[in-house]
Structure 1
Amino acid sequence: MGAFDRLVLFSEVHGTVLKDGKPVEGAELIEKVVWSDDENEIPQQHAVSDAKGAFSFPSIERKAGLLRLIPAQPTIQQTITIKYQGVEYTAWLHGKTSYNANTELDGKPLNLVCELTRQPDYEGKHYGICKAV
């Protein structure tokens, strides 16, 4: 990776919101990144689930600049929150320690199924109601 490559702070996400196994339309999803190397707050991304419960977020990236030349392990806190019918759900909580794409799931794309009736729990290195598929 060169000094002018992009730093991927949150890989592209595709997912589905379900309640009792049925698609949820109109759920609001908020994706947020807190990055230790950025003095400015990174704007949250918003999405709304469609009639099939589907949602997506583009990747959140920053210019690498000199950070690629300095050996250090990043500290990136990722969260996705779902708001539906007045209830807020912890969908995804993960600490990312790499600037490469798709390292959240060890190289696999972020394809999630978020079941609103599920209790938040750990799956691998992430926590929440969303499970990787």
Structure 2
Amino acid sequence: MMYRNLARALCAAFLVIGQTPMARAEEYLCSPMTGQLVTPQGVPVPDTPVRRAWFWRGKRGESATTTDAEGRFTFPAVPPKRGLFERIPAREAVIQDFYADLPDGPFQFLYLSTRGLSLNAETLGKPFNVRCRIGVEPYADDIHFGTCTLIDPEAS
């Protein structure tokens, strides 16, 4: 009888936890970001479709936009949607791929793998604002692999 009551109490606790959000800091699979697509000479690339794909805990998502006349594009933040068992703290890894759909095919201009779900985890806490070149060889730095450089949003 005692074990049956304990089991009921545990089940009730799990149901309550599953229905109410647990107290957590604000989390992002993908931080909000702005960017500009330019040629190797720095000329803006207008009216170009741009895609962001993300991968987290076996889940995948994708969003798309188009550059404006100045080659600028934006992507909103992507919050995690957690099930009951995903509420257990774990080391989080999110992968993001960015592509420009050019006339001669897709061009991957940025690849990121982050650790953590904090705002701007992709850029080690700095605003996620990048200038990316098409038609050049990708390279690696401390944060990413691609053709982008982090820029000051006020200078863009």
TM-score scaled by length of structure 1: 0.85
Residue 72 of structure 2 is aligned to residue 51 of structure 1: no
Residue 22 of structure 2 is aligned to residue 3 of structure 1: yes
Gaps of 5+ in 1: none
Structure 1 residue 123 displacement after superposition: 2.4
Residue identity (%): 25
Residue 103 of structure 1: aligned partner? 121
Residue 33 of structure 1: aligned partner? 54
Residue 104 of structure 2: aligned partner? 86
Name the structure with the higher strand share: 1
Residue 142 of structure 2: aligned partner? 124
Residues 3-26 of structure 1, C-alpha deviations (whole Å, 9 max, x = no match): 254531111110101112111111
Work out the CA distance in 1 between the residues paired with 2:49 and 2:63: 11
25, 35, 38: which one aligns with 1:15: 35
Letter in 2 for 1:3: M
Mapping 1:60-75, distance limit 5 Å: 60-64=78-82, 66=84, 67-68=86-87, 70-75=88-93
Equivalenced residue count is 128
Residues 49-101 of structure 1, C-alpha deviations (whole Å, 9 max, x = no match): 11011100001112456545x23101211111111222321111111110111
Structure 1 residue 31 displacement after superposition: 0.3
Higher relative contact order (CA 8 A, sep 6+): 1
The 3-state SS of whatever aligns with 1:104 is helix
The 3-state SS of whatever aligns with 1:45 is strand
Structure 1 residue 37 displacement after superposition: 5.5
TM-score scaled by length of structure 2: 0.74
The 3-state SS of whatever aligns with 1:60 is coil
Gaps of 5+ in 2: 1-20, 152-156
Name the structure with the higher helix share: 2
